[in-house]
Amino acid sequence: MQTSGSLFADLPAASLADERFDLLHRGGGVRIERIVSTGQASAPGAWFDQAQDEWVVLLKGSASLLIEGEPAARSLAPGDWLLLPAGLRHRVEWTAPDETTVWLAVHIDLAPDQGGDRP
């Protein structure tokens, strides 16, 4: 695993069939990944419901994220971030089809006394 680099290196010149997930770090109950989107969205009716907390920031591009129970999706621009607690159902409504969208996601395992299990 690399110990340094650029979050904007090796971005695709064309659309990808699927989002790309690049693992940047894993250890101590934390996983950090770069997500590259080129127009992808969650499948119709599909929701993410994770066992870990996730802190995510949009670095480049644009996207829309819907959190279950909220009246409307949130439009995200570079610099916008969210903390998605474990179990919070959410979905990506859209990512920009005409530009590369780059996310940084930090997944945080819950401590045993918070309902999670650390490796």
Q: What is the pLDDT of residue 113?
A: 55
0.85 exceeded by the pTM? yes
Distance CA 43, CA 23 (A): 23
Give the separation between CA 63 and CA 94, rounded to whole angstroms: 6
- Domain segments of the chain as ranges: 20-111
pLDDT in tens, the chain (119 residues): 678 899 999 998 888 889 999 999 999 999 999 999 999 999 999 999 999 999 999 999 999 999 999 999 999 999 999 999 999 999 999 999 999 999 999 999 986 555 544 33
- Which residue has 């309902």 as its token pair? 115
Domain covering 20-111 assigned CATH 2.60.120.10 in the classification: yes
Q: How many Å from the N-terminal Cα to the C-terminal Cα in the chain?
A: 19
CA distances from 69 to 72, 90, 105 (A): 9, 9, 22
